[in-house]
Amino acid sequence: MNAPANLIAVLLVVAVTVGMGGYGLRSRSTPDFYVASRTVSPLRNAAAVSGEYLSAASYLGIAGLLATYGSTMLWYGIGYTAGYLVLLVLVAAPLRRSGAYTVSDFAEARLGSMAVRRTATVFVVLIGLLYQVPQLVGAGLALHTALGAPAWSGTVLVAAVVLVSVITGGMRSVTLVQSVQYWLKLTALAVPALVLLLVWRGVWHPAGSPAPLPAAHPATGHGGGQGLYGVYSLMVATFLGTMGLPHVTARFYTNPDGRAARRTTVGVLCLLGVFYLLPEVYGGLGRLYAPDLAAAGRADTEVLRLPALLVPGATGRLLAALVVAGAFAAFLSTCSGLALSVAAVLSQDLFGGDVRGFRRAAAPAVLVPCAIALLLSGNGMSVAHEVGLIFSVAASTFCPLLVLGIWWRRLTAAGAVAGMLVGGGLSAAALTLTLLGVGGPGWAGALLAEPAAWSVPAAFLTMVGVSLLTPGGVPAAASVMLARLHLPEALAAGPADRSATAGDRSSPGTVRSSLDGHH
């Protein structure tokens, strides 16, 4: 690949990210850093949600899986998008009306329990740190492919830029950066994809363009041939895991009200639907023109290599540089959102909850996953599959908590803690064993590689069962809290509450005191 053009592309993305991050220097109050003072418009928020959600798995991994395994892997893009439909119907507006800054805040406010809050915090940190790892590994892979640089350099570069962006401006600056980066990623994939399709269909015949190779036969899929189970479990993980991703749910706290949160979710569905048409193009063309990459275990690099392969010369190099720029935008935007969500909960539970505490919490939120990524670099696992496993953990912990916490009055603190520990423990154990290579072919490998089909039901059943066994643990204010979650803001709040809510949007103060004021 053309290293000078790719280097310029990477440096431009980094410069734009750091430059726009300076916008957040206007952030001074706690609401600014945590939720951008709840003033983000639905359109900008939809672009920002899409920007941080479209990670390395979406940008590089789905195309690599399609090139390796064929059409079965289309469910990744479908599931990642459909998760927002579930979020729209069940969670978006009530979660915004809760007045929380984080999932941990919601858990404590809904159930009145510090044990629930601490359990939720542990899983927010776990999911946030683990989700950053494949992004940072992908950054190292991309920089090595684009520039020939050591893989660790890309990991360190992205971690450094994210740390600066989060520390300087918090949610306000990250929102602006991510909304711009969505459009950059969309352009970076769409323009080369259009050119590649013209070459494939014979409309354009650039000199030196290779002829398609015989179509590759699809592999057996995940789980040693247990393909049908893998598809169903993947659907459960992606459909229900989206609402359990801390950096996704944190976005809905930045909307002015519940109606705006719903409008944001509809916008996200449209933006993701457009984007996920593109990885399929690269995956299909990769099977035709570069099956050797999949055979060599380098399928995640196909998006980066195809433009220069199919369009030799200066045009191909420019297209490749554009794709590289989009890839780094993907790494930066997703890692920024994840680091911000982890820093928010660490700050509130360990560092006092103010702006200074947020900045102190940002360092471990970025540096810990960076260290893990450096250790795991080169393990050969698909980026998209790693992310799919983390979706299983999210679906097995926060999905039951949010769905039952919003829609079932009889949920108790004991039930919530037990359900999160069972679902999270089972899915996290499956993730760890899969990364260690345990399981092998057959049903054992399939169940570990795609645990959501059994870990999510286990979490729901445990949460419901333990709650029914501990009826005395239903919070006294449960009915009041549920009314607040489901009624429009103007109906759910009296004059004093509306004044408090308005103050929450604009004035400093921790979320815990704000929530106590509402009770």
Q: What pLDDT digit, counting tens, does each position of 138-149 carry?
A: 888 888 888 888
Mean pLDDT of 434-447: 80
Enclosing domain of residue 217: 3-379
Q: What pLDDT digit, counting tens, does each position of 409-436 carry?
A: 999 999 999 999 999 999 999 988 887 7
- Which has the minimum average pLDDT: 168-172, 319-323, 339-343? 168-172
Whether 69 is covered by a domain: the verdict is yes
- 28 versus 54: the higher-pLDDT residue is 54
Mean pLDDT of 220-246: 77
Torsional sign, CA 309, 311, 315, 320: negative
Whether 502 is covered by a domain: the verdict is no
Scanning 92-225, the segments in alpha helix (DSSP H) are 92-97, 103-111, 114-147, 151-200
Q: Which H, E and C letters describe 365-433, residue by residue?
A: HHHHHHHHHHHHCCCCCCHHHHHHHHHHHHHHHHHHHHHHHHHCCCCCHHHHHHHHHHHHHHHHHHHHH
Whether 451 is covered by a domain: the verdict is no
Whether 300 is covered by a domain: the verdict is yes
Q: How many domains does the chain have?
A: 1
Q: CA dist 92 to 136, 170, 244, 406, 498, Å? A: 29, 22, 12, 10, 20
Whether 426 is covered by a domain: the verdict is no
Which of the four pLDDT bands, split at 50, 70 and 90, describes residue 27? low
Whether 439 is covered by a domain: the verdict is no
Whether 62 is covered by a domain: the verdict is yes
pTM: 0.83
Query: Does residue 473 have a pLDDT over 50?
Result: yes
CATH number for the domain that contains residue 276 = 1.20.1730.10
- Which has the minimum average pLDDT: 175-179, 262-266, 365-369? 175-179
Is residue 93 within 8 Å of 259, Cβ to Cβ? yes
Whether 477 is covered by a domain: the verdict is no
Residue recorded with tokens 């009915």: 479
Most confident of 66-80, 84-98, 406-420: 406-420
Q: What pLDDT digit, counting tens, does each position of 151-167 carry?
A: 899 999 999 998 888 88
Residue 75 to residue 239: CA distance in whole angstroms: 10
Residue 112 to residue 339: CA distance in whole angstroms: 27
Query: Does residue 464 have a pLDDT over 60?
Result: yes
Residue 75 to residue 232: CA distance in whole angstroms: 9
| Number of helices and strands in the chain (H, E) | 26, 0
Query: Does residue 406 have a pLDDT over 90?
Result: yes
Helix crossing, 302-310 with 278-289: angle to 10°? 60
